[in-house]
Structure 1
Amino acid sequence: MRTETHGPSVGPSVAEILASHAGGTGSPAKTAARVADAIAARGDDGTWLSTVPRAQLIAAAEAIERRPGARTLPLYGVPFGVKDSIDVAGVPTTLSCPDYAYTATATAPAVQRLLDAGALYVGKTNLDQFATGLNGTRTPHTIPRSVYGGEMISGGSSSGSALAVALGQVPFAVATDTAGSGRVPAALNGIIGIKPSRGLISTVGLVPACKSLDCLTVMAGCIDDADRVLDVMIARDDGDPWSRDRGPRYAGEPLRIGLPAATELEFFGDDAMRGAHLAFREHLARTHSVVDVSLDPFLAAGALLYQGPWVAERLVEFAGFLAAQPESIHPVVREIFAGGHRYTAVDAFAALQRLQELKAEVSRLWRQMDLLILPTIGTTFTVEQVLAAPIDTNTMLGHYTHFGNLLDLCAAAIPVGATADGRPCSAMLLGPALADDTVLHLAAQLLDEPRLAPSHSPVPVPTEELL
């Protein structure tokens, strides 16, 4: 049973949960019971595809309490969800396609680091099937809705991860972002979505959408929560060929903010969203150094993603399943997969060469600015609107996000207010590769959050089986 809501109701932060557990006013077991009860109270609203049963969740929390030095663990008893395209040992990985499902024999290293740090695994969250979509409707399960109500889509593909945080059920959730799948649902649910630089978080144990672009991300209610979680998850993994070390901390110098001309921004006829974003920009320009920048090369790169051969990269993973069980695949996802067959090797090389030209053009723009700020999304849609025009609406949702991983950028989507008619307005902060700490610094500043410098060092915690 779905309960109508009108905006995020983020629950206790990671810091508040840790303080409760350390001070004795709460405990991991009490937190586990609260989370289980909150999920049960909502019923099947499309947030979760599977959850640890209440008694088992409390038992897992009690096992964390018994670990040596448990209270010193950086995420002691903090509950979290995992997008159901990421492996957790002993739990089915379904990608929102029941016929594709398999039971994982090992936990993804990035998730294992969270478990080792004392975090409490709650369950798997819903997604657009095979992580293909930005709207959250491409699922055979209950279609989730945004916490803003009005039958607004939740966004995707990490729909359930965003909702679990926005509903206050968990303080953070693990998601993915290939073309905007972490940023778009964060925007539509009024929370924070952090897409780190590609390779900082291991993608081993993630069923790939586009392996050369995939990125594990974090949904959270505040920057401090994101900082704490990222500091655990980020680590070099020799099993991931894209793995790399994180970049430097923000050095403290004044930031030059790139803003494209307002005439370059597209809101698809949504005047209320345009007004809300331009009001945010006016405030930004009063407090920061602003640089005019062209959006053209960014959008040109984004157009390559679904109008070029990267669609075919999905077939590396799913071509066999498409051939053997096409009827098991959501019709829109099946159409997208099948479209990958029309591209040739010549198309791929031509697109790679064009992308390299655009990367060079964008790299020159970073000489005059430190970060670029755009809308995360230009408009919103209802479930009915998306079902009526699934491809066109999805393309509009990804207008500002499609180019992020193609151009090797890091990004954060943050809530910056609401439209005059009460819908969420989100800004996206983009930086060049490995400028993650600078992005997080500005995000905290814009949200008026104090920010402690993250340790940027591996968390020395033991590895043990918790499930």
Structure 2
Amino acid sequence: MKYALNKVLMNAMTNLHGLSLDFDALDNAYRTSTLTPVDVVREVYRRIHDRGEDFVWTCLVPETQALAAAQALATRDPAQMPLYGLPFAVKDNIHVVGLKTTAGCPAYGHYPAKTAAVVKKLLDAGAILIGKNTMDQFATGLVGIRSEGYPVNSFDGEYIPGGSSSGSAVAVATGLVSFSLGSDTGGSGRIPAALNNIVGLKPTPGIISTAGMVYANRSFDCVPIFALTCLDAKQVFDVAVGPDIDDPFMRANPNYVAKSEIPVSGFTIGIPDKDNRKFFGDLLAEKSFDHAINLIKDLGGDVLEIDFSPFVAAGSMLFSGPILAERLASLGDFFESHREDIHPVVGGIIDKAKSYSAVDLVKEYYRLRQLMSAAYTELQKVDALMVPTAGTIYKIKEVESNPIALNANMGYYSYFANLLQLSALAVPAAFRDDGLPFGICFLAGPQEDSALITLGNRFQKASRLPLGATRINYGAH
């Protein structure tokens, strides 16, 4: 009897070590009583401990505290908690009471008085917070290496992880949490998703509360969701979306759905015209995007080239004009009083804001409205736009030697989305011939998030790729 019991326990431990943390796997384990949330939390901390210092985390919830939260779920009805027992993490510019917020700058570190509204929603829905993740300092960068210590790419340590939500993406890709929150101003919820083979759902600005975070551009910052699958991201999205009286930048009706679905067949996907389609000399990325185009056709879609120039022009405003003033305003006096504590590349970017006037900023917003009109005209021709999430990927050494230009290349297909108030979804698309992941991003008008998730789910299933940096394929369990 004792031998049989030990064998059962040994089998359970073996299964636990190989367990995927995607929602279906955990839901099945909980429903069949194979595992409890306490078991999963213990396994999460074991994995974190075994990885050693990987610079994914800036701080962890004490394991005893996370276990207590998991134990408390034992008396709750899982059917009433849509995120029951799911471990998650948040980027270190999102406030959580009891955990220091540094935004990637230790000198800025402080303990907030209030937990961010979106985090509270997730906790109330049964999710279990594990800790806070490393990021590019003050969310200024798409490379993921603008902090004192930074994680590396989940597939090859010589390559950048993508930023600024680097730790949040790597935590999901490497199986440390089921999902995570980042922040997205110019691509920080999409670029690291693509570079680590996971999903990055960037919501329409103003439908998920940003109250309780350190802002880059408060007027269009948003909280993206990293997950292993599109449907996992949708489950978190459904909990997170909704009004918040403490966020003055919320949309009047954040629960409004602009488009319920994209047709299963006979749909049209826009792609950038050839003159504006750039891969920065990366033939493997170009080949992977061609593969994604063919996959759309296999799914029953038509592909139409559209004029991508208004999107590019809008994106160029993010770091090359007076809109930088928002970043300077967010940091306030700290920027001047702690200049020596700010990453030199980050400081140099924000410094440029001082060269513009209020009149320059007004004129820039007038021009943005014109570009928005032109971009929306192009979007009306298609059901959704598909672009490479990133046109290439760089080694860490390459970015260190040319940080500004290469960061701009990373943002070519992402900078414009929030400025134009678009919904966006980054989805894994292929593995390049060099073994690195490649992702695409679907974009559509405001509050078409649900339609993009439906399309992205079909695309992800058809691509048949493993989940994150694991060997588990989508739908394998």
Q: What's the TM-score once normalised by structure 2's chain length?
A: 0.89
Cα distance in structure 2, aligned partners of 1:251 and 1:338: 44
Q: What residue in structure 2 maps to residue 309 of structure 1?
A: 322
Corresponding residue to 2:111 among 81, 103, 106 = 103
Within the alignment, does 1:250 sit opposite 2:257 as a pair?
Answer: no
Q: What residue in structure 2 maps to residue 268 of structure 1?
A: 280
Within the alignment, does 1:424 sit opposite 2:449 as a pair?
Answer: no
Cα distance in structure 1, aligned partners of 2:320 and 2:86: 41
Cα distance in structure 1, aligned partners of 2:275 and 2:157: 29
Q: What residue in structure 2 maps to residue 210 of structure 1?
A: 217
Deviations 1:185-242 (A, max 9, x none): 0011011101011111000001111101200010000011111111111111121122
Deviations 1:283-339 (A, max 9, x none): 323430222211100001001111111111111121311111111111111111211
How do residues 333-352 of structure 1 correspond to structure 2 at under 5 angstroms? 333-352=346-365
* Structure 2 residue matching 1:430: 3-state secondary structure: strand
Cα distance in structure 1, aligned partners of 2:347 and 2:58: 21
* Structure 2 residue matching 1:198: 3-state secondary structure: coil
Deviations 1:248-290 (A, max 9, x none): 2524544321122334210111111111111221332343022
Within the alignment, does 1:197 sit opposite 2:207 as a pair?
Answer: no
Cα distance in structure 2, aligned partners of 1:102 and 1:230: 28
Q: What residue in structure 1 maps to residue 245 of structure 2?
A: 238
Cα distance in structure 2, aligned partners of 1:69 and 1:143: 39
Within the alignment, does 1:55 sit opposite 2:64 as a pair?
Answer: yes
The letter for the 1-side match of 2:112 is: A
Unaligned runs of 5+ in 1: 1-8, 451-467
Corresponding residue to 1:227 among 224, 227, 234 = 234
Deviations 1:415-440 (A, max 9, x none): 11121222211101000101111111
Q: What residue in structure 2 maps to residue 371 of structure 1?
A: 384
Unaligned runs of 5+ in 2: 1-17, 464-477
Q: What residue in structure 2 maps to residue 130 of structure 1?
A: 138
Q: What residue in structure 1 maps to residue 20 of structure 2?
A: 11
Percentage identity across paired residues of the two chains: 38
Within the alignment, does 1:42 sit opposite 2:55 as a pair?
Answer: no
Q: What residue in structure 1 maps to residue 33 of structure 2?
A: 24
Deviation at 1:60, TM superposition (A): 2.1
Cα distance in structure 1, aligned partners of 2:411 and 2:398: 16
- Asked whether the 8 Å contact 2:422–2:444 carries over to 1, the reply is yes
Cα distance in structure 1, aligned partners of 2:98 and 2:233: 27
* Structure 2 residue matching 1:448: 3-state secondary structure: helix
Within the alignment, does 1:408 sit opposite 2:417 as a pair?
Answer: no
* Structure 2 residue matching 1:216: 3-state secondary structure: coil
The letter for the 2-side match of 1:288 is: G
Q: What residue in structure 1 maps to residue 470 of structure 2?
A: none
Aligned-pair RMSD on alpha carbons? 1.6
Cα distance in structure 2, aligned partners of 1:11 and 1:315: 41
The letter for the 1-side match of 2:369 is: Q
Q: What residue in structure 1 maps to residue 6 of structure 2?
A: none
Name the CA shift for 1:449/1:203 in 2 (closer, same or farther; >3 Å): farther
Q: What residue in structure 2 maps to residue 86 of structure 1?
A: 94
* Structure 2 residue matching 1:422: 3-state secondary structure: coil
- Asked whether the 8 Å contact 1:11–1:170 carries over to 2, the reply is no
Cα distance in structure 1, aligned partners of 2:432 and 2:151: 22
Which consecutive aligned stretches of 4+ in structure 1 deviate over 6 angstroms post-superposition? none
Corresponding residue to 2:122 among 114, 123, 134 = 114
Cα distance in structure 2, aligned partners of 1:10 and 1:159: 23
Deviation at 1:26, TM superposition (A): 0.6
- Asked whether the 8 Å contact 2:261–2:454 carries over to 1, the reply is no
- Asked whether the 8 Å contact 2:38–2:71 carries over to 1, the reply is yes
Alignment: residue pair count:
440
* Structure 1 residue matching 2:332: 3-state secondary structure: helix
Cα distance in structure 1, aligned partners of 2:68 and 2:296: 48
Q: What's the TM-score once normalised by structure 1's chain length?
A: 0.91
- Asked whether the 8 Å contact 1:332–1:390 carries over to 2, the reply is yes
Cα distance in structure 2, aligned partners of 1:80 and 1:306: 31
* Structure 2 residue matching 1:412: 3-state secondary structure: strand
